[in-house]
Structure 1
Amino acid sequence: MRRWLGMPVAAALALTACVTINVYFPAAEAKEAAKEFVEKVIGDEAGSSAPAPEESKPGGGMASFDPLMLIGIAPAYAQSSPDINIKTPAIQAIQSRMKSRFDGTLRKHFDSGALGFTNDGLVSVRDASKIPLGDRVGVNQAVADQGRDAKAVYREIAVANKHPEWEGQIRAVFAKQWVDSAKGGWWYQDAGGGWKQK
């Protein structure tokens, strides 16, 4: 009988030695980094975004509940730098290509309504009839190249910040930022994939 009474005490002692490490995604910092990156690509002509409501931390949502707190064990939160680094040579090279392509080919087709931002952070041909026949091959190539670079930059930002698992969250933040920074009259996809004009 005594052996059974000692088990809860041993279990409680073992639990007090445990510490939960939660590495949260710094949503506010990611939003600032995305805004800086996107507005450099789109340029000064783009519309400014409306301020978004503040998100609580950690993780951009409500504070997470840890069941160990019920028995008096406080979780420890491991945080790498709160800033999202977008200044690596690889990221800046991609940004430069995207800006050059946007200024050289894509902008005028956003202005015409032919192109739009997709809900997954890419560019798509929305209405090919608005692209002159002689320009279609070049525009389609520019759209494909822009998409390839966008995917690469989302991955590169996650890796540069030592959290490759953040790639999907970074892409989601950027997808929203492309729309927020878009000029009035440009097109974008809503969450369901329908096209809307800003």
Structure 2
Amino acid sequence: MNLIREHAMKKRLRWSSLLAVIGLAACVTINIYFPAAAAEKAADKIIEDVWEQDATTTPAAPTSPAEQEELSSLPGFAWSRVLDFLITPVVAAEPNLDISSLAIKRITVSMERRYRELKPYFQSGAIGLTHDGLVAMRKAQEVPLRDRTQVNQLLATENNDRNALYGEIARANGHPEWEAQLRETFARRWIQKAPSGWWYQNAQGQWAQKR
């Protein structure tokens, strides 16, 4: 009788362990999965529109090995690559992220118009791209004193739009919890697609010039 009872207990333990593993796997798929490739594609489309880049004829300046090493140290870079190996083929076949909502369109149009005013300051090095997907004043001396208040206002409005953009994309796709990962994705892609000569922040917040 004891042997029968012991065998039954072992069998129940095996089933419990199996169910726990299955449950854990399900949690990983549901809670951790973030469509990194789709997010990069969506980011590239928006960045090209805002910066008026032609993806077919005006590719972004190539990233040097040193710059690539700096970009790989930005938050979320390594984790997004790990997820590419963890997700199943079925999950990987999910459609692209939806960036067609009216709210997203309004934000991107606003950013497109503002970019024409910000572009000269990107080119002069007065402003640059931050490591958290925003923009910031890098060298105020490059901006005429009479224009500094206006440039600071442009930067503040631009950052408001960028913050809103990341949140709106997450909400439009039914996953508000993706906002931080979308921000990390955009932060990398803004820098990677920036023209040569522009300035950006590395993971330590130090300024570097795109080669």
| TM-score (norm: length of structure 2) | 0.77
| Contact 1:123 1:146 (8 Å CA) reproduced | yes
| Aligned residue identity for 1:61 | V
Q: Is the 8 A contact 1:114 1:126 kept in 2?
A: yes
Match of 1:108 in 2: 120
Q: 1:7 aligns with which of 1, 6, 9?
A: 9
Cα separation, partners in 2 of 1:157 and 1:49, compared to 1, 3 Å: farther
What is the CA–CA distance in structure 2 between the aligned matches of 1:95 and 1:106, rounded to whole Å?
15
- Verify: 1:32 aligned to 2:41, yes or no: yes
Q: Secondary structure at the match of 2:200?
A: strand
The yes-or-no answer on 1:145 pairing with 2:151 is no
**C-alpha contact 1:25 1:60 (8 A) present in aligned 2:** no
In structure 1, runs of 5+ residues without a counterpart are 53-57, 66-74
Decide whether the 8 Å contact of 1:47 with 1:184 is kept in 2. Answer: no
* Same amino acid, percent of matched pairs: 38
- Change in 2 beyond 3 A, CA 1:84/1:144: same
Picking from 57, 61, 74, the partner of 2:82 is 61
**C-alpha distance in structure 1 between counterparts of 2:14 and 2:98, whole Å:** 41
Question: How many residue pairs are counted as aligned between the two chains?
Answer: 183
Tell me if the contact between 1:42 and 1:102 (Cα under 8 Å) persists in the aligned partners.
yes
CA drift at 1:64: 3.8
- Structure having the higher helix fraction is 2
**Residues 24-66 of structure 1: CA deviation (Å, up to 9, x unaligned):** 11111111110110111111387615489xxxxx95316349x
8 Å CA contact 2:126, 2:139 repeated in 1: yes
2:107 aligns to what SS in structure 1? helix
Name the amino acid aligned to 1:91: I
Q: TM-score, normalised by structure 1?
A: 0.81
Letter of the 2:103 partner, please give it. A
Q: Secondary structure at the match of 2:99?
A: coil
**Is the alpha carbon distance of 1:86 and 1:49 closer, same or farther for their aligned partners in structure 2, counting shifts above 3 Å?**
farther
For residues 55-93 of structure 1, give each alpha carbon's deviation from its aligned partner in whole angstroms, at most 9, with x where no partner exists.
Answer: xxx95316349xxxxxxxxx9976794311111111111
- Deviation per CA, 1:84-135: give whole Å up to 9, x if none: 11111111110011111111x2111111110000000000000001111111
Secondary structure of 1:60 counterpart: helix
Q: Tell me the residue number matched to 2:100.
A: 87
CA RMSD of superposed structures (Å): 2.7
1:167 is paired with a residue whose SS is: helix
Do 1:121 and 1:174's aligned partners in 2 also have CA atoms closer than 8 Å? yes
Indicate the SS of the match to 2:104.
Answer: helix
Letter in 1 for 2:101: T
Secondary structure of the structure 2 residue equivalent to 1:84: coil
SS at 2:81's partner residue?
coil
| Residue 169 of structure 1 pairs with residue 171 of structure 2 | no
Bigger mean CA offset, 4-13 vs 150-159: 4-13
Is 1:160 the counterpart of 2:161? The answer is: no
